[in-house]
Structure 1
């Protein structure tokens, strides 16, 4: 069983556990994260965000393969075991190309996903919630799900091609996370409605069926929702647990899923 899926199953069984994601490409941050995980004797999830690292280099100048080499090289220098390291991609989709028509943006997104999976990234956050140049605002759940399923199919095909028996081995196949709502300004922040979370999941499940990737649905382990806590450069919205109680119960119906 894969490390992340095992973590989720243990959590569902009542264990008080979790994992944080280090979303940074800064050498000092990566070094500190490796040192902390080494001291904790824990696994470490390091993620590259779509604007940091892409097939063209992103703002760091690194492709996914470059980023993997960078992290593994630093891990080796600190004697951190590679098997304790998980690489993830964050907000992978047409985000970088929103100024283009959807057809062009999604072609770039196809190539982006293929580059990440080829490089060995196994925790994949697919985010197709943003509108492209010729899209309505906002996109419907159905359109978001259709595009996410398209990218999932690319990821699965790439994994089969580049990882030996990846899909036949549940421990080495990609894990997926999907967006559960559109970004909102802080002054309009609301908790995701339980029915909205359910609809997002159902739209994605149906889109998976249509795209021929239904078999990987058990590897969807995360849905991004808004529990009522957020921050920007000038404000912090404090978390009020009672406001998210109804939302938190939704996830109990999905054995492999966390919010």
Structure 2
């Protein structure tokens, strides 16, 4: 079955955009329900994601490392009769967020190890999110710093993918979504991202990724 993520950009440019639902949960009943929905539609690929604070190399708040999360989902899929090849695994907000109280050098080293663990475990959709400041830094970083750190994480991901002879991951960039795990306060309004800001984010990432040979 073709990975629907690979055609998203082309379809949008051709005027026939489509989407795919992302199930971002580690709750067994949510995973089971999503898998049953996929079983009921044989043409459907199932995208299941884990966030950086939920699942990481230290276990996150679920106690699961990336490989344990994959095994957890596949075990439910096996019980429900869904082939593992129909599941896409995604990593959400992968970056220094769980360790942002530490200096940037330490937090980024842990983020690189986390991304490596995700790719080794079979995650193929990687959200690169290095937007948050670490110890001694502003809460929100400039685009150049974010893109430079994202490139570091992409290098770690691609090194891991090549080491396991797998396909290179697909990336998500940008941070205009709730924080990992959801907001911890009431939201009275949301400000949409301006098109110019989105274009600038994309362009700066392109420039820095090209500079870094990515």
> What is the TM-score normalised by the length of structure 2?
0.89
CA displacement at 1:140 relative to structure 2 = 0.3
Does the C-alpha gap of structure 1 residues 78 and 8 become closer, same or farther in structure 2, counting only changes over 3 Å?
farther
Q: Distance in 1 between matches of 2:93 and 2:80?
A: 29
Residue in 2 that maps onto 1:174: 169
Does the C-alpha gap of structure 1 residues 117 and 29 become closer, same or farther in structure 2, counting only changes over 3 Å?
same
Q: Distance in 2 between matches of 1:206 and 1:7?
A: 22
Q: Which runs of 5+ in 1 are unaligned?
A: 167-171, 214-259
Residue in 2 that maps onto 1:129: 131
CA displacement at 1:11 relative to structure 2 = 4.7
Residue in 1 that maps onto 2:26: 25
Q: Distance in 2 between matches of 1:45 and 1:212?
A: 29
Residue in 2 that maps onto 1:60: 62
> Contact (CA 8 Å) 1:53, 1:64: kept in 2 or not?
yes
Q: Matched residue pairs, number?
A: 206
Q: Distance in 2 between matches of 1:69 and 1:141?
A: 36
What is the CA deviation profile of residues 91-132 of structure 1, one whole-angstrom value per residue up to 9, with x for unaligned ones?
A: 000010010011110011010000000101000011111111
CA displacement at 1:198 relative to structure 2 = 0.9
Q: Which runs of 5+ in 2 are unaligned?
A: 180-185
CA displacement at 1:192 relative to structure 2 = 1.1
Q: Distance in 1 between matches of 2:193 and 2:119?
A: 30
Q: Distance in 2 between matches of 1:117 and 1:182?
A: 23
Q: Distance in 2 between matches of 1:193 and 1:64?
A: 34
Q: Distance in 1 between matches of 2:200 and 2:41?
A: 38
